């Protein structure tokens, strides 16, 4: 058996692989922010080039890789904060520590699944946290610090895309939007934006808006106040001015608590939620994605889709039929900041 840990930091990713039973390091590599594809190819080659099964471990602050790794046929596990040593000031626990916790305690880790994603085993906790924020959320909406949807009186809506930029799928999404002359809002992961600034520029040049989606796509309730502030600030520095409002912030997974929402107000962000979610990240099929969007959309809707975080070919394939039907139904597409102004 082989055990691999994948860590992130301000510059990219680290991979460490150890063996059983003595924990001897058998592979180690570093990848820049732009090197996600190379990272996946590297660990897939390790899996394919040996007889031993390879178990890969990320921690709950890393929501950037698991979908792509699982799509490549790799076994991915999540270690939670109470199972790990304290992380550094910015970054995940070290890759070697993640590999060792798997070697010594794999049955206690959550094995991730495509259908439930990074938060496999913590979805009940996620939903409980969301329910507990309702009074805070309503107060924030009233004060203009949170957007869940726009006016229900006008047939205007906002397409939004999370988890990019991605060197393949973001460009495909942009091409569809260009063809129909439809604007959208892209909530970018900071490490991805750092690795692909040219794609961020193409988003802006296409007339779209940018939003902040944290640096590493963490589960926010696991962060301290300072940790959240650093995730937001570093990502904001990667998003150039113009093209809307980089102060727009979307919490990964929609994860939140009353404290987190209050901290986000202190940071000067506007939290953006949604009211239409087809769960495209779970790969239900392009037809299902389109059907779910069209069944749930209403005037003022904010539609949540994804251009990164995994294989988004189904989302790209669903997009033309979604846009054509909504245009035929008389809807106007706007960016989130424009939706909030009326």
- State yes or no: pLDDT of 272 exceeds 90: yes
Q: Please determine, for residue 245, whether its predicted confidence score (pLDDT) is greater than 50.
A: no
pLDDT at residue 340, rounded to an integer: 81
What would the two tokens of residue 44 be? 């897939």
Within 8 A by CB and 6+ apart from 245, the residues are 209, 210, 211, 270, 337
Q: Give the model's pLDDT for residue 52.
A: 76
Residue of 192, 208, 306, 311 marked catalytic: 306
Residues 157-184: what's their mean pLDDT? 97
What's the rounded mean pLDDT across residues 128-144? Answer: 94
19-28, 31-40, 214-223, 243-252, range with the lowest pLDDT: 243-252
Ramachandran sector of residue 121 (left: φ over 0; alpha: ψ -120 to 50; beta: rest): left
Predicted pLDDT at 332: 97
Q: Is 75 a catalytic residue?
A: no
The distance from CA 286 to its chain's CA centroid, rounded to whole angstroms, is 20
From the number of C-beta atoms within 10 Å of its C-beta (0-12, 13-18, 19+), residue 332 rates as middle
Report the pLDDT averaged over residues 94-123.
95
Examine the pLDDT at 128 and tell me if it is beyond 50.
yes
Structure tokens at 230: 């650093």
For the chain, give the percent of residues with pLDDT over 90: 90
**Cα–Cα–Cα angle for 128, 129, 130, nearest 5°?**
90
Q: pLDDT band at residue 342, thresholds of 50, 70 and 90?
A: low
DSSP-assigned beta bridge partners for residue 110: 78
The pLDDT confidence band at residue 1, using thresholds 50, 70 and 90, is: confident
Question: What are 13-71's pLDDT values in tens digits?
Answer: 999 999 988 889 999 999 999 999 999 999 999 887 667 789 999 999 999 999 999 99
List pLDDT tens digits, range 231-242.
999 999 999 864
Amino acid 47: pLDDT: 82
At 244 the pLDDT is 43
Q: Is the pLDDT of residue 115 over 60?
A: yes
Question: How far is residue 217's CA from residue 95's CA, in Å, rounded to a whole number?
Answer: 17
The pLDDT tens digits of the residues spanning 69-91 come to 999 999 999 999 999 999 898 99
Catalytic residue chosen out of the listed positions 66, 162, 307, 311: 162
What mean pLDDT comes out for the span 312-331? 98
Give the DSSP H or E segment for 44. Answer: helix 36-48
Q: Is the pLDDT of residue 123 over 60?
A: yes
Given this model, what pLDDT does residue 20 score? 85
pLDDT band with cut points at 50, 70 and 90 for residue 267: very high
The model's pLDDT over 295-314, given as tens digits with 9 standing for 90+, comes to 999 999 999 999 999 999 99
pLDDT for the residue numbered 22:
85
**pLDDT tens readout for residues 153-167:** 999 999 999 999 999
**Listed residue (88, 66, 68, 85) closest to 77, CA to CA:** 66
pLDDT of 243: 43
Average pLDDT of the chain?
A: 94
- 274 within 8 A of 311, measured Cβ to Cβ: no
């Amino acid at each position: 058996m082989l055990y691999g840990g994948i860590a992130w930091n301000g510059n990219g990713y680290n991979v460490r692989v150890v063996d059983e039973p003595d924990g001897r390091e058998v592979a180690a590599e570093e990848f820049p922010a732009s090197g996600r594809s190379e990272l996946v190819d590297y660990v897939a080659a390790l899996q394919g080039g040996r007889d031993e099964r390879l178990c890969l471990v990320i921690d709950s602050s890393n929501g950037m890789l698991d979908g792509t790794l699982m799509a490549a046929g790799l076994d991915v596990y999540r270690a939670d904060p109470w199972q790990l040593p304290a992380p550094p000031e910015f970054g995940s626990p070290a890759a070697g520590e993640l590999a060792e916790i798997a070697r010594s305690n794999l049955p206690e880790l959550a094995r991730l699944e495509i259908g439930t994603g990074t938060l496999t085993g913590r979805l009940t906790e996620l939903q409980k946290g969301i329910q507990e924020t309702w009074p805070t959320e309503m107060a924030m909406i009233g004060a203009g610090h949170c957007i869940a949807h726009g006016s229900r009186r006008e047939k205007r809506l906002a397409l939004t895309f999370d988890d990019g930029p991605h060197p393949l799928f973001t460009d495909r999404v942009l091409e569809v939007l260009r063809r129909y002359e439809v604007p959208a809002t892209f909530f970018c992961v900071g490490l991805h934006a750092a690795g692909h600034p040219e794609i961020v520029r193409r988003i802006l040049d296409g007339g779209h808006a940018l939003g902040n989606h944290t640096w590493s796509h963490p589960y926010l309730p696991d962060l301290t106040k300072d940790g959240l502030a650093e995730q937001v600030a570093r990502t904001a520095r990667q998003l150039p001015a113009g093209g809307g409002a980089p102060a727009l912030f979307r919490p990964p997974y929609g994860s939140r608590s009353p404290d987190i929402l209050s901290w986000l107000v202190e940071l000067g962000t506007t939290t953006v939620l949604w009211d239409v979610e087809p769960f495209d990240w779970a790969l239900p099929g392009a037809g299902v994605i389109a059907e779910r969007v069209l069944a749930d959309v209403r005037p003022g809707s904010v539609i949540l889709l994804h251009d990164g975080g995994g294989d988004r070919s189904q989302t790209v394939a669903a997009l033309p039929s979604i846009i054509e039907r909504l245009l035929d139904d008389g809807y106007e597409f706007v960016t989130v900041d424009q939706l909030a102004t009326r």
